[in-house]
C-alpha cells in the first residue's frame, strides 16, 4: 500500500471519546458525539443522529464537551471510505475563508459522492441482456436505448429508470424476459493502470523544452505554478501530457480540468492514445455509478488520472502531484451558483496545500495569470509556433459600414465570396455568432412591444427548432404567440436580429448545395449526442459549421480553413471593464479554429468599428502589447488583478426592501473604511431579475494587500436580513 498511509491518520478516538463533527447541515458549529464502538479516526466520514434524522459528517477534531456528557449521543457508524486527509480539511477551510462560504456548504462539495454511505456489495446493477423482449413498447425501448447508448455500463435500478424516464417495473419486466440482466454490483473496480511510456509523440524543440521544464518542476517535489501559453494548435496538450506522464512515473496522481464537458470525449481519446488506457472521468455527464467509482478509487489511490470539471478539485486525492487547468481563462471555471468559487484559483490553493504543481494552459491567458507570470509568481512557458506546418490564420476585418446588405441578412458579400471559395475547394468554413436560438428579440411591429420573460429582466429568445420562446436566464419557455400580448394586434410579431438558427437559414439559402450544421449547446438532447455530432463534423462530414461559443473551445476541426465572425463588436458593448479582455480572448480562440492542419486558414471579422483598439489588437495579434495596455488601465482603475474586488448580491422579491438594505449597507461601511476599501452601489446586478427575484449588487474595491475577507465578514455581520432576502458574497466577481 501507499507508504503515506500512516501519516494520513494523525489521530484516533477510542470508543466513548468525544469527537467534534462537521456536518453538511447549515449549522455554524461542530457537533459533539461519542466515538462509536471500534472508535474512529480524525477525518472519518460518519453518520450521526441530528434530531430525528441521520446526517453525514466528518470527524473534524476532539469534542468540546461543554454540556452534559450523559446526553451526548454516539456516532451511528463510520462509513467504509478512507478518512478525509488533513490537507483536504485544510483546503476546505481555506477555501471557505477565501470565498466567505460557511463550512457545511464547503463540506458538501467535498462529499458529493453518490452512495457514499452505501455498502458496496449490497447493490444490484442492470445491464443489456442477450434477448429481445417478446413485445416492444415505447417504455421498454427507452430502457434498452439507454443501455445501448452507454455501451456496457451497468446502472442501478433507480438510475436506469430515471435515465429512461420510466417506472422501475418496466425494468423488472425486461429482467423477467432476459432482455436486461440483473447482477450483483461488482465492488467498485480500480481503473486500469496508465502507462506513462505508451504513446508519447516526438516533440519539437519548443515542446521538448517545455516538457523538460515541467518535469524538473515536478521532480522538485513541491508547489509551483506554470503558465503554459501558446496559440491554439501549438501543441500545449502534448506538453502537459508529458507532465502528467512524469507525475505517473513518480507514483503521483494527476488531475486535468477542462472547461466544457463537450470537450472531454475527444480529450479522453487522446489520453487513451497517449497512455494506453482511459482515465477516470468526473463531470455531470458521467453516470452516478461511475462517479461513485471515481470518488472511491481516487480516495484509495486507484485512479491515477482524473479528467474532470471544476468540482473534481474536491475529490479526495491521496497523493496529488499535478493539476492542469486547460483553457485557464475560460469563464466557466467560475461557479456562479451556490458556492461562488473560481476553479483556477482554487486549483492553485489546493496545489499549494499539498505540494503539487499546477499548469495553467491557454492561448489567451486571463489577465490575472498573465500578471502573476509577469510578477514572477508563476513560471511561464511559451510555445510560439503552431505545430508542424500549420500557421496562424490570416486575420482581416470586414468593414460593415461599406458592405451592401439587405435588411434581415447578416452575411456580407465579402464573407459570402470567401465561403464560396472554400466550398469549391472542398474545405470547411465556420460561421461564428455567439447567440443561441433564432432571434434575440421578438418585436411587435404595431406597438413596439418586445416579449420578455415573466420572471426575469430578459427578453425571450425565439428557438425555432423547438418552436418556442425561451428565457436564457431561467430557462422558462412559452409558445411563440401570434397575437401581441401588449396591443392585441394579430400577425404583427417579428423576429429581430440574428441567432445561430437564423444564420443557418440564411447560409442554406445562399449555399443550397452545401452540407450545413448548426452547433449550439441547446440543440442536443444529451452531451453524448453533441459529442457524436462534433466528431462527425471533425471528420469532414460538413461544409459549413454555424456555431456559438461552443465551437470556440478546444475542438479540432482539421478540415476547417475559414472562420467568419458575424458580429465581432458584440462583446464590446456595455460598461464591463473585462469586455476588452473577453472579446480579445474569444475572437483569438475562434480564429484559432481555422487552418490547424497543413492548409493555411483565414479569419474574417465583420465589424462596424474596424478602428477600435481591441479589434486592432485582435487583427494584428500583438498580444503582449494588448495585455500591457489592459494592465495599465486596470492598474490605474485599481481593479483586479491590481486591486481586490467583491460583489455583494442581494436578492429577493421586494425591490424596495433590497434597496433599503443596500443603502443601509453602503452607509454603515466602517469596517470597510478601516481597511481603505470603497463601496459602490447598490445598483441592479448584471442580471437584475431572475426567476421572479430582483437582484441588486454592491461592489467593494480594496487594495491588493488589504484584509478584504475579514472586513467583509465584519461589515456584513452588522445587518439583519429580513426573511426572504438573500445575501451572497462573490469574491473576485467576473464582471465589474
CB of 211 to ligand ADP, least distance (A): 10
CB of 273 to ligand ADP, least distance (A): 9
CB of 597 to ligand ADP, least distance (A): 8
Distances (CA, A) of 197 to 191, 194, 200, 245, 377: 18, 9, 7, 7, 32
Our CB check for ligand ADP shows the closer of 552 and 646 to be 552
Our CB check for ligand ADP shows the closer of 392 and 423 to be 392
Asked if 147 contacts 188 with a C-beta cutoff of 8 angstroms, the reply is no
Distances (CA, A) of 212 to 207, 219, 273, 702: 8, 11, 21, 40
Residue 723 contact, options ligand ADP, Zn ion, none, Cβ 5-8 Å cut-off depending on partner type? none
Residue 476 contact, options Zn ion, ligand ADP, none, Cβ 5-8 Å cut-off depending on partner type? Zn ion
Residues whose CB is less than 8 angstroms from the CB of residue 408 and which lie 6 or more positions away in sequence, other chains included: none
CB of 672 to ligand ADP, least distance (A): 43
CB of 463 to Zn ion, least distance (A): 14
Residue 556 contact, options ligand ADP, Zn ion, none, Cβ 5-8 Å cut-off depending on partner type? ligand ADP
Q: Is the peptide bond before 441 cis (omega within 30 degrees of 0)?
A: no
Piece of 20-28, 217-225, 371-379, 453-461 that binds Zn ion (CB under 5 A): 453-461
Q: Which listed residue (471, 615, 685, 711) binds Zn ion by CB under 5 A?
A: 471
Our CB check for ligand ADP shows the closer of 289 and 364 to be 364
The whole-angstrom separation of Cα 465 and Cα 367 is: 38
CB of 655 to Zn ion, least distance (A): 17
Residue 201 contact, options Zn ion, ligand ADP, none, Cβ 5-8 Å cut-off depending on partner type? ligand ADP
Residue 453 contact, options ligand ADP, Zn ion, none, Cβ 5-8 Å cut-off depending on partner type? Zn ion
CB of 261 to ligand ADP, least distance (A): 18
Distances (CA, A) of 533 to 91, 273, 437: 39, 21, 18
The whole-angstrom separation of Cα 174 and Cα 131 is: 10
* Binding of residue 474 to Zn ion (CB under 5 A): yes
Our CB check for ligand ADP shows the closer of 366 and 651 to be 366
Piece of 241-249, 452-460, 542-550, 556-564 that binds Zn ion (CB under 5 A): 452-460
Our CB check for Zn ion shows the closer of 125 and 469 to be 469
Give the ranges where 646-725 is alpha helix by DSSP (H). 655-667, 670-674, 708-717
Residue 83 contact, options Zn ion, ligand ADP, none, Cβ 5-8 Å cut-off depending on partner type? none
CB of 329 to ligand ADP, least distance (A): 14
Residue 455 contact, options ligand ADP, Zn ion, none, Cβ 5-8 Å cut-off depending on partner type? Zn ion
Residues whose CB is less than 8 angstroms from the CB of residue 362 and which lie 6 or more positions away in sequence, other chains included: 227, 228, 229, 326, 327, 328, 329, 369
CB of 460 to Zn ion, least distance (A): 8
Question: In degrees rounded to 5, what are phi and psi of residue 585?
Answer: -60, -50
CB of 237 to ligand ADP, least distance (A): 3
CB of 456 to Zn ion, least distance (A): 3
Question: In degrees rounded to 5, what are phi and psi of residue 333?
Answer: -70, -20
CB of 325 to ligand ADP, least distance (A): 13
Distances (CA, A) of 398 to 383, 545, 564, 604: 30, 20, 10, 6
Using alpha carbons, select from 253, 421, 419, 438 the residue that is nearest to residue 351.
253
Class of residue 490 by CB neighbours under 10 A (exposed 0-12, middle 13-18, buried 19+): exposed
* Binding of residue 464 to Zn ion (CB under 5 A): no
Distances (CA, A) of 620 to 89, 234, 321, 584, 617: 48, 18, 39, 11, 5
The whole-angstrom separation of Cα 664 and Cα 304 is: 52
Residue 230 contact, options Zn ion, ligand ADP, none, Cβ 5-8 Å cut-off depending on partner type? ligand ADP
Q: Which listed residue (78, 395, 456, 470) binds Zn ion by CB under 5 A?
A: 456
Residue 341 contact, options Zn ion, ligand ADP, none, Cβ 5-8 Å cut-off depending on partner type? none
Our CB check for ligand ADP shows the closer of 235 and 299 to be 235
Asked if 10 contacts 42 with a C-beta cutoff of 8 angstroms, the reply is yes
Residue 473 contact, options Zn ion, ligand ADP, none, Cβ 5-8 Å cut-off depending on partner type? Zn ion
Our CB check for ligand ADP shows the closer of 382 and 505 to be 382
Our CB check for ligand ADP shows the closer of 204 and 609 to be 204
Q: Other C-beta atoms within 10 Å of 8: how many?
A: 18
The whole-angstrom separation of Cα 364 and Cα 425 is: 31
Asked if 194 contacts 302 with a C-beta cutoff of 8 angstroms, the reply is no
Our CB check for ligand ADP shows the closer of 466 and 556 to be 556
Our CB check for ligand ADP shows the closer of 241 and 685 to be 241
Strands 224-230 and 379-383: parallel
CB of 657 to ligand ADP, least distance (A): 50
Our CB check for ligand ADP shows the closer of 30 and 241 to be 241
* Binding of residue 476 to Zn ion (CB under 5 A): yes
Residue 210 contact, options ligand ADP, Zn ion, none, Cβ 5-8 Å cut-off depending on partner type? none
Our CB check for Zn ion shows the closer of 17 and 476 to be 476
Our CB check for Zn ion shows the closer of 437 and 641 to be 437
Residue 366 contact, options ligand ADP, Zn ion, none, Cβ 5-8 Å cut-off depending on partner type? none
Using alpha carbons, select from 650, 617, 667 the residue that is nearest to residue 729.
650
Strands 460-463 and 77-78: unpaired
The whole-angstrom separation of Cα 473 and Cα 614 is: 28
Residue 456 contact, options ligand ADP, Zn ion, none, Cβ 5-8 Å cut-off depending on partner type? Zn ion
Cα dihedral sign, 576-577-580-581: negative
Q: Which listed residue (453, 518, 617, 698) binds Zn ion by CB under 5 A?
A: 453
Distances (CA, A) of 166 to 127, 139, 157, 686: 16, 6, 11, 40
Q: Which residues bind ligand ADP (CB under 6 A)?
A: 201-204, 207, 230, 232-238, 387, 556
For Zn ion (CB under 5 A), the number of binding residues is: 7
Residue 147 contact, options ligand ADP, Zn ion, none, Cβ 5-8 Å cut-off depending on partner type? none
* Binding of residue 469 to Zn ion (CB under 5 A): no
In total, the chain counts a number of residues equal to 736
Our CB check for Zn ion shows the closer of 359 and 685 to be 685
Q: Which three cell numbers stand for residue 46?
A: 460518519
Our CB check for ligand ADP shows the closer of 32 and 326 to be 326
Residues whose CB is less than 8 angstroms from the CB of residue 176 and which lie 6 or more positions away in sequence, other chains included: none
Our CB check for ligand ADP shows the closer of 287 and 589 to be 589
Residue 238 contact, options Zn ion, ligand ADP, none, Cβ 5-8 Å cut-off depending on partner type? ligand ADP
Residue 111 contact, options ligand ADP, Zn ion, none, Cβ 5-8 Å cut-off depending on partner type? none
* Binding of residue 455 to Zn ion (CB under 5 A): yes
Our CB check for ligand ADP shows the closer of 123 and 278 to be 278
* Binding of residue 473 to Zn ion (CB under 5 A): yes
Reduced to 3 states (helix: H, G, I; strand: E, B; else coil), residue 165 is: coil
The whole-angstrom separation of Cα 601 and Cα 386 is: 12
* Binding of residue 451 to Zn ion (CB under 5 A): no
* Binding of residue 478 to Zn ion (CB under 5 A): no
SS (H, E, C) 53-109: EEEEEEEEEECCCCCCHHHCCECCEECCCCCCCHHHHHHHHHHHHHHCCCHHHHHHH
- Applying CB under 5 A, the residues found at the interface with Zn ion are 453, 455-456, 471, 473-474, 476
Amino acid at each position: 500500500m501507499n507508504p503515506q498511509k500512516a501519516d494520513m491518520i494523525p489521530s484516533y478516538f477510542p470508543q466513548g471519546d468525544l469527537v467534534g463533527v462537521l456536518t453538511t447541515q447549515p449549522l455554524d458549529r461542530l457537533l459533539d458525539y461519542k466515538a462509536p464502538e471500534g472508535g474512529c479516526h480524525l477525518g472519518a466520514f460518519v453518520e450521526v443522529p441530528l434530531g430525528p434524522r441521520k446526517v453525514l459528517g466528518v470527524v473534524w477534531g476532539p469534542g468540546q464537551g461543554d454540556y452534559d456528557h450523559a446526553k451526548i449521543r454516539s456516532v451511528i457508524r463510520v462509513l467504509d471510505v478512507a478518512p478525509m486527509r488533513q490537507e483536504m480539511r485544510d483546503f476546505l477551510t481555506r477555501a471557505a475563508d477565501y470565498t466567505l462560504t460557511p463550512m457545511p456548504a464547503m463540506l458538501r462539495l467535498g462529499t458529493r459522492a453518490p452512495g457514499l454511505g452505501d455498502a458496496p456489495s449490497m447493490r444490484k446493477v442492470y445491464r443489456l441482456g442477450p434477448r429481445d423482449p417478446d413485445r416492444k413498447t415505447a417504455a421498454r425501448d427507452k430502457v434498452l436505448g439507454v443501455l445501448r447508448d452507454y455501451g456496457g455500463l451497468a446502472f442501478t435500478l433507480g438510475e436506469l429508470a430515471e435515465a429512461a424516464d420510466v417506472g422501475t417495473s418496466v425494468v423488472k419486466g425486461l429482467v423477467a424476459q432476459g432482455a436486461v440482466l440483473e447482477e450483483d454490483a461488482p465492488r467498485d473496480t480500480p481503473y486500469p493502470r496508465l502507462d506513462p511510456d505508451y504513446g508519447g509523440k516526438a516533440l519539437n524543440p519548443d515542446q521538448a523544452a517545455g516538457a523538460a521544464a515541467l518535469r524538473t518542476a515536478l521532480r522538485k517535489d513541491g508547489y509551483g505554478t506554470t503558465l503554459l501559453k501558446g496559440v491554439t494548435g501549438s501543441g500545449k496538450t502534448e506538453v502537459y501530457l508529458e507532465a502528467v506522464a512524469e507525475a505517473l512515473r513518480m507514483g503521483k496522481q494527476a488531475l486535468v480540468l477542462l472547461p466544457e464537458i463537450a470537450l472531454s470525449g475527444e480529450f479522453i481519446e487522446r489520453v487513451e492514445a497517449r497512455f494506453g488506457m482511459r482515465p477516470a472521468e468526473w463531470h455531470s455527464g458521467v453516470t452516478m455509478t461511475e462517479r461513485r467509482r471515481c470518488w472511491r478509487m481516487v480516495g484509495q489511490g486507484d485512479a491515477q488520472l482524473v479528467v474532470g470539471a471544476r468540482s473534481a478539485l474536491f475529490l479526495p486525492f491521496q497523493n496529488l502531484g499535478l493539476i492542469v487547468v486547460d483553457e485557464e481563462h475560460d469563464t466557466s471555471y467560475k461557479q456562479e451558483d451556490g458556492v461562488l468559487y473560481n476553479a483556477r484559483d482554487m486549483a492553485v490553493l489546493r496545489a499549494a496545500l499539498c505540494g503539487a504543481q499546477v499548469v495553467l494552459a491557454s492561448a489567451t491567458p486571463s489577465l490575472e495569470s498573465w500578471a502573476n507570470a509577469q510578477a514572477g509568481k508563476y513560471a511561464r512557458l511559451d510555445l510560439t509556433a503552431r505545430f508542424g506546418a500549420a500557421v496562424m490564420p490570416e486575420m482581416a476585418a470586414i468593414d460593415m459600414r461599406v458592405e451592401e446588405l439587405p435588411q434581415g441578412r447578416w452575411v456580407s458579400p465579402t464573407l459570402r465570396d470567401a465561403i464560396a471559395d472554400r466550398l469549391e475547394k472542398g474545405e470547411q468554413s465556420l460561421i461564428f455568432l455567439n447567440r443561441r436560438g433564432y432571434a434575440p428579440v421578438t418585436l411587435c411591429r404595431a406597438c413596439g412591444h418586445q416579449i420578455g420573460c415573466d420572471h426575469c429582466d430578459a427578453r425571450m429568445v425565439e428557438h425555432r427548432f423547438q418552436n418556442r420562446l425561451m428565457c436564457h436566464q431561467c430557462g422558462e419557455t412559452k409558445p411563440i404567440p401570434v397575437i401581441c400580448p401588449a396591443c392585441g394586434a394579430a400577425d404583427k410579431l417579428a423576429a429581430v436580429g440574428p441567432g445561430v438558427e437564423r444564420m443557418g437559414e440564411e447560409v442554406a439559402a445562399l449555399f443550397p448545395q452545401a452540407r450545413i450544421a448548426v452547433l449550439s449547446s441547446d440543440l442536443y438532447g444529451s452531451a453524448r449526442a453533441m459529442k457524436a455530432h462534433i466528431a462527425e463534423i471533425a471528420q469532414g462530414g460538413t461544409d459549413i459549421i454555424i456555431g456559438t461559443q461552443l465551437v470556440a473551445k478546444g475542438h479540432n476541426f482539421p478540415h476547417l480553413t475559414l472562420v467568419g465572425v458575424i458580429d465581432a463588436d458584440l462583446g464590446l458593448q456595455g460598461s464591463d471593464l473585462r469586455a476588452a479582455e473577453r472579446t480579445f480572448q474569444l475572437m483569438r480562440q475562434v480564429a484559432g479554429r481555422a487552418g490547424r492542419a497543413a492548409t493555411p486558414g483565414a479569419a474574417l471579422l465583420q465589424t462596424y468599428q474596424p478602428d477600435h483598439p481591441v479589434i486592432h489588437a485582435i487583427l494584428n495579434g500583438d498580444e503582449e502589447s494588448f495585455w500591457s495596455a489592459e494592465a495599465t488601465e486596470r492598474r490605474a482603475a485599481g481593479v483586479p488583478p491590481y486591486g481586490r474586488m467583491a460583489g455583494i448580491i442581494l436578492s429577493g422579491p421586494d425591490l424596495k426592501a433590497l434597496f433599503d438594505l443596500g443603502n443601509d449597507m453602503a452607509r454603515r461601511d466602517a469596517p470597510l473604511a478601516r481597511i481603505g476599501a470603497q463601496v459602490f452601489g447598490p445598483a441592479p446586478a448584471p442580471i437584475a431579475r431572475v426567476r421572479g427575484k430582483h437582484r441588486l449588487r454592491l461592489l467593494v474595491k480594496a487594495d491588493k494587500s488589504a484584509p478584504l475577507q475579514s472586513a467583509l465578514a465584519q461589515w456584513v455581520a452588522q445587518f439583519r436580513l429580513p426573511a426572504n432576502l438573500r445575501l451572497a458574497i462573490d469574491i473576485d466577481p467576473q464582471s465589474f
